[in-house]
């Protein structure tokens, strides 16, 4: 059952129709469904397939690669390779013994694991593609990796023999709400749109996590079982996830924990101070890798220089872990069920809903009717001073058609009622923004809510309204 990957599947199948051999790279964070997409698309019809061994050394990787070659039909008279050049020559022999004019699909999974320390894997792969496969017309080489940074640096942006050799690349993103809804229906799970949104706020759009939801259980029961039971499925997932993607994950975890402590994000200096790290090349690389892997985002505050970046934690699963699993001192197995509608629930839900919205900016633009309008999205923060309160605007849509949408995101279990005080505050925020940003554009107050706005006296202050249901489109 392949859900929400029609575009990606079409790209992959189209590789079979190309005249030349194809070198395809698929990347994305761990658990996002890369391997599943490839195997489902080709129905496991590979001439050869192999997955790297986690934490395996060069000898282990070569041994397992050789065993995979034997399983796919390499004659046993071929000896075990002593290096990757020999390993790829054995793979070439397997290709050449196949008497068919059809495209031969080769799938190498978890490429970064194959590249053990001092293995020479990348240079051997370079030679294998440039010297042999690229000269053929019948091979589709598909490579996959959970370490986004590794594959970007070593394959896609390779400055050596693989420079500009990749013919197709797919950055596989988490499911949207729409895809999650499709998955729920296909799995015969009885979950409302609100349930699906809340599940997204907990697990993000990671298909692997959604696969553990059970029929016959409420969402709260599922969450308790997956996160809070004594032997809960995801109790240790946080550490395992970061360890599987990053070498020496401690610094990465320190940064996401620091960012998790501040709702609106931090600048580099704040992260360094909070995480107690040194300002060096390692720190810079760690930030880049966390962003490339989809755990954090960087953005420019509206009107600020491009190098004045703010970093923000946007991975829903990490946010949920840091707030509830790491800090859950009660060890209550039914923690989530007990705390539905509690203050700690709503405090988390407000933040998590904001992150959900940030993952669905294209849907917000579509609901506003501006999908075809060029727009830049950012946020804005103004520190408190003698004349103004400090304000934070989480989503600003700066449009080419002369309008700026100041977006406020509010989560509730019913229609959101704008009070007089809140209305006054929104108007004040708009004027503060206009004053300090010095914009000459029209400013539209925009609300993104779970169930829409209550039509009361203050509703008319809002120029544009987006509902949760719009984010499912």
Residue 367 confidence (pLDDT)? 98
Strand intervals (E) in 287-359: 296-300, 309-313
Residue 330 confidence (pLDDT)? 62
The dotted CATH code for 6-171 is 3.40.50.300
**pLDDT tens digits, 263-313:** 888 999 999 999 999 999 999 999 999 999 999 999 888 887 777 899 999
Using CA atoms, how far apart are residues 180 and 205, in angstroms rounded to an integer? 7
Using CA atoms, how far apart are residues 184 and 140, in angstroms rounded to an integer? 33
Q: In the chain, list all ranges with CATH 3.40.1350.10.
A: 360-471
Q: In the chain, list all ranges with CATH 3.40.50.300.
A: 6-171
Using CA atoms, how far apart are residues 293 and 246, in angstroms rounded to an integer? 10
Spans of the chain, pLDDT less than 50: none
Using CA atoms, how far apart are residues 357 and 362, in angstroms rounded to an integer? 10
**pLDDT tens digits, 411-461:** 999 999 999 999 999 999 999 999 989 999 999 999 999 999 999 999 999
Using CA atoms, how far apart are residues 167 and 164, in angstroms rounded to an integer? 8
Using CA atoms, how far apart are residues 124 and 77, in angstroms rounded to an integer? 22
Q: Select the CATH number that applies to the domain covering 360-471 from these four: 3.10.20.880, 3.30.360.10, 3.30.300.30, 3.40.1350.10.
A: 3.40.1350.10
Q: Are 453 and 462 in contact (CB under 8 A)?
A: yes
Closest among 158, 473, 199 to 320, alpha carbons compared:
199
Q: How far is CA 101 from CA 49, 96, 98, 137, 168, in A?
A: 19, 11, 9, 9, 22
Residue 382 confidence (pLDDT)? 81
Q: What is the reported pTM?
A: 0.92
List, in order, residues 6 or more apart from 357 with CB less than 8 Å away. 364, 395, 407, 409, 448, 471
List, in order, residues 6 or more apart from 44 with CB less than 8 Å away. none
Query: Which two tokens mark 284?
Result: 């810079």
């Amino acid at each position: 059952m392949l859900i929400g990957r029609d575009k990606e599947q079409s790209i992959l199948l189209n590789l079979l129709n190309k005249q030349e051999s194809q070198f395809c790279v698929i990347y994305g964070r761990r658990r996002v469904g890369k391997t599943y997409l490839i195997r489902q698309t080709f129905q496991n019809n590979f001439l050869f397939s192999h997955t790297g061994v986690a934490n395996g050394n060069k000898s282990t990787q070569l041994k397992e690669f050789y065993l995979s070659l034997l399983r796919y039909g390499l004659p046993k008279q071929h000896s075990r390779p002593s290096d990757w050049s020999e390993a790829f020559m054995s793979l070439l022999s397997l290709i050449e013994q196949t008497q068919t004019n059809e495209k031969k699909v080769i799938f190498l999974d978890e490429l970064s694991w194959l590249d053990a320390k001092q293995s020479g894997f990348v240079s051997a792969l370079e030679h294998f593609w440039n010297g042999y496969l690229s000269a053929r017309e019948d091979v589709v080489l598909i490579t996959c990796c959970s370490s986004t940074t590794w594959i970007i640096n070593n394959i896609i942006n390779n400055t050596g023999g693989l420079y500009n050799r990749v013919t197709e690349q797919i950055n596989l993103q988490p499911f949207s709400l729409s895809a999650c809804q499709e998955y729920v229906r296909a799995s015969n799970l009885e979950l409302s749109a609100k349930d699906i949104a809340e599940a997204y706020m907990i697990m993000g759009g990671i298909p692997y996590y959604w696969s553990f939801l059970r029929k016959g259980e409420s969402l709260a029961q599922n969450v308790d079982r997956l996160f809070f039971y004594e032997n809960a499925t995801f109790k240790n997932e946080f550490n395992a996830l970061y360890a599987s993607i990053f070498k020496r994950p401690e610094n990465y975890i320190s940064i996401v924990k620091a960012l998790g402590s501040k709702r609106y994000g931090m600048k580099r200096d704040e992260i360094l101070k909070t995480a107690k790290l040194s300002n060096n090349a390692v720190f810079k690389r760690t930030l880049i890798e966390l962003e490339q892997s989809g755990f954090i985002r960087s953005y420019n505050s509206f009107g600020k220089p491009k190098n004045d970046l703010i970093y923000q934690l946007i991975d829903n699963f990490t946010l949920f872990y840091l707030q509830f699993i790491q800090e859950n001192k009660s060890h209550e197995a039914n923690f989530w069920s007990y705390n539905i509608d509690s203050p700690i629930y709503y405090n988390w839900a407000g933040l998590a809903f904001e992150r959900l919205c940030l993952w669905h900016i294209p849907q917000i633009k579509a609901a506003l009717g501006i999908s075809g309008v060029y727009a830049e999205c950012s946020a804005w923060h103004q520190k408190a001073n003698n004349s103004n309160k400090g304000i934070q605007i989480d989503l600003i849509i700066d449009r080419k058609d002369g309008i700026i949408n100041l977006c406020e995101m509010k989560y509730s279990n019913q229609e959101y009622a704008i009070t007089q005080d809140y209305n006054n505050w929104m108007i004040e925020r708009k004027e503060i923004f206009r004053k300090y940003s010095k914009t000459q554009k029209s400013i539209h107050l925009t609300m993104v809510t779970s169930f829409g706005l209550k039509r009361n006296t203050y509703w008319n202050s809002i120029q544009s309204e987006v509902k949760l249901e719009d984010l499912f489109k």
